Each structure stands twice: as C-alpha cells, then as structure tokens.
Amino acid sequence: MRHVERDPYADVDWSSTGRFKANLHAHTTCSDGSLSPAEVIDAYAARGYDVLAITDHDTYRNDSRTGAATWPWTDHGRDPDTLGMLAVRGIELTGDPAVANIPHVTSWFHDLWQPDHPFDERNEDLAWMLATLDERAAVSAWAHPTRSGELRTHGGDPGWFVERHHAHRNLRGFEVYSGTGRPSATDSSALYDAILTRLLQEGVEVPLWANAADDSHHAAEIGFDYHVHLLAERSTTAMRQSLEQGSYLVVQDPLGNALERHLDDREGFWTAAPAVTHIEVGDRSITIEGERYDRIDWIADGEVVHTADRLPLDLGGLGGYVRAVLHGDAGARMLTQPFLLGP
Ligand SMILES: [Zn+2]
Ligand SMILES: [Zn+2]
C-alpha cells in the first residue's frame, strides 16, 4: 500500500472555498495581439473570469522600448475591483525576435525594470533571466514548451527542465495545454509526465505544477485553457500562494470561445467543462467527486493506470506521483495537479 506524501489540495475546505477562474497568459496591442488591453479585459470579464494576467512580450515596464503600457489596468479605463476581478501583473519573456533562441517563459508579480542592468539588453541570456526572476520573487511558468522554437533549445529533453527546476525556485508551472484556440496550439502533456517522472525519482518536495492558458492574441482565441484556483479570498497573496503550492485545477475546453460555455452568477463559478467538487485523500485511496464528466483517468509516469472515481493506493504500477484527468463533453477536460506518493 502506497501513501500520499503531498496532497496539493490538503488545505482546501471544499465546502466553503471560492472558485476563481483564471487566465494567466494573454496578449494585446501592447505587443503582437490584435485587441487593446481594455478589449481583452472585457472579453475575459464577459466569460466570467475572476483573474487575468496580461503578459505581453518583453514589456519590462510601462515605458519599455516597445512603448507598451500593460500595467496598471486603470491606465486603460478598467478598474479590477469594479469588474470583480483580480489583475495579476505579468510578462512573457521571449528574447529578441531577430535571434530568439530561448524558450518562452510567462512570469508574474514583479517589475523587471533595472536601472543599472537593462533587462532588454540581456534578454537572450536565459540563465541570467531566471536568476533575476528568483531575486525578484517572481512566480513563472514554461509557456507552450513543445512548440518548435522551444524544441530547438531543449530538444524535448526532460533532463533540461529538471536541471533548471532544481536551480530556480521561481519556475513553478508548465503550460500543459497552451492556446487550444490557436493554429499553434500545443499539448505538452507527454513531456510534462516525463519531467514529473524524473523529478519524483529524484525526490523533489515541490514538483512542477500543470498550467493551461489561452496565449490569446485575437478575440477568437479567448476562453479555451484556464485554471480554477481554490482561494479563501480574491487577493494577490492568495493567488501567489496557490500557484506556488499547486492548489488549483486545470481546464482545456475546445468549445471555450463560445460565451454560453462560460456562465458565472458571481455567487459560484460555473462552466460547461468538467468540475471537481471534492477530493478525499485517505490511507487506502484517493477519491474525486465532480460534475459534468464521463470518466476519470489516473495517470502515473505518463500511463493511464486506472479509470474510476476512486484510485486504490495498493494498485500496481504506481510510481512517484499520480494525477487525475476528468473527461467531459466535446473533448473538454479538467486536470488535477499531481499527488506525490511515498513508499
Ligand atoms: Zn510565447
Ligand atoms: Zn504568448
């Protein structure tokens, strides 16, 4: 019989927790998006999102070389409190497009402008960037990690990510699903499981958490890939803690651009994709209760090892972690974060 050594949802009170729908990767006319910041904010608000990070490319501060000003929202005539939303300060680090050879990283909760060491003069130096993000107490995620440009750098080698995971505590997330509404959509779940398998073989305490985000550039790309954060309150502190501890759920909904898939009565969060309503971690099993799903697959070391609401912990073939995928209609799915297993 195995036991759960780390349950990312251990502190969640399922009967009272708030559910906050979040997209943490979006572009506007401040870089290569076609909608203004106000239009992007309005499109997410209309779909019942509670949390949004605008992450334009390399917009280090309001007067960066791009002339872009993505922060604060009030500069664009949008007040997060009036909208009932949480605005998260964000950026996507992509390097100089002329010679770009770094994987894209989305990063939140900081201002990277530095008077003595202009960030944009060193934006091809990934090691320096990641060290600086550590210094700035950022929380970051690998964006669309299996897109071709990224593969040029790391070749899909899980060891490349494992090495950086050990060195940089700001790297907490990995965009498993990215831009499902885009022509360049990526599903990086195979690489994600390969990295998790390696990390758990090495006995890490905090693994890489699964992320999903629209990476939206146009109106038709909004609403597909998002998080549901389980927070006691709508605050930057609670969001940061959730991203660090992995106490959130991940959704991919191929019909997500349709407004009617996203209903939110402001009392409770509702979407047509599957939902998790309760997770019970016991000595002998993990049990998931949810809504709007057909089946739950349990994945260990990249393989589906069981299909049921309840995973018995004496099941053969369990490695260092197990994670659940709830399958709903039209290909919609909700993922839990990995549960870390002890001997
Ligand atoms: Zn990107
Ligand atoms: Zn992007």
The pLDDT tens digits of the residues spanning 77-102 come to 999 999 999 999 999 998 766 666 78
Return all residues near 9 (Cβ < 8 A) that are at least 6 apart. Answer: 230, 247, 279, 281, 336, 337
Residues with CB under 5 Å of ion ligand 1 are: 104, 143
192 Cα–ligand 1 center, Å: 17
Domain that holds residue 245: 17-272
DSSP 133: H
What rounded mean pLDDT belongs to the chain?
92
Query: Would the pLDDT of 64 be above 60?
Result: no
CA-nearest of 335, 169, 323 to 248 is 335
Q: What's the confidence (pLDDT) of residue 68? A: 52
Q: What's the confidence (pLDDT) of residue 97? A: 64
The pLDDT tens digits of the residues spanning 48-61 come to 999 999 999 888 76
Q: Is residue 110 part of a domain?
A: yes
Q: Is residue 199 part of a domain?
A: yes
Q: Is residue 219 part of a domain?
A: yes
323 Cα–ligand 1 center, Å: 26
216 Cα–ligand 2 center, Å: 7
243 Cα–ligand 2 center, Å: 19
- CATH code of 43's domain: 3.20.20.140
Query: Would the pLDDT of 220 be above 80?
Result: yes
Query: Would the pLDDT of 66 be above 60?
Result: no
The pLDDT tens digits of the residues spanning 221-269 come to 999 999 999 999 999 999 999 999 999 999 999 999 999 999 877 677 8
Cis peptide upstream of residue 72 (ω within 30 degrees of 0): yes
Q: Is residue 326 part of a domain?
A: no
106 Cα–ligand 1 center, Å: 8
Element of type H or E holding 290 = strand 285-291
Looking at the DSSP bridge assignments, the partners of residue 271 are 262
Q: Is residue 315 part of a domain?
A: no
Q: Give the number of whichever ligand sits closest to the CA of residue 26.
A: 2
Q: Which residue has the higher pLDDT, 74 or 142?
A: 142
27 Cα–ligand 2 center, Å: 6
Q: What's the confidence (pLDDT) of residue 62? A: 55
Q: Is residue 232 part of a domain?
A: yes
The pLDDT tens digits of the residues spanning 279-331 come to 999 999 999 999 999 999 999 999 999 999 999 999 998 999 999 999 999 99
Q: Give the number of whichever ligand sits closest to the CA of residue 217.
A: 2
Q: Is residue 322 part of a domain?
A: no
Residue 213 is encoded by which pair of tokens? 């985000």
Q: Is residue 52 part of a domain?
A: yes
94 Cα–ligand 1 center, Å: 7
The pLDDT tens digits of the residues spanning 103-130 come to 999 999 987 766 665 566 677 788 888 9
Domain count within the chain: 1
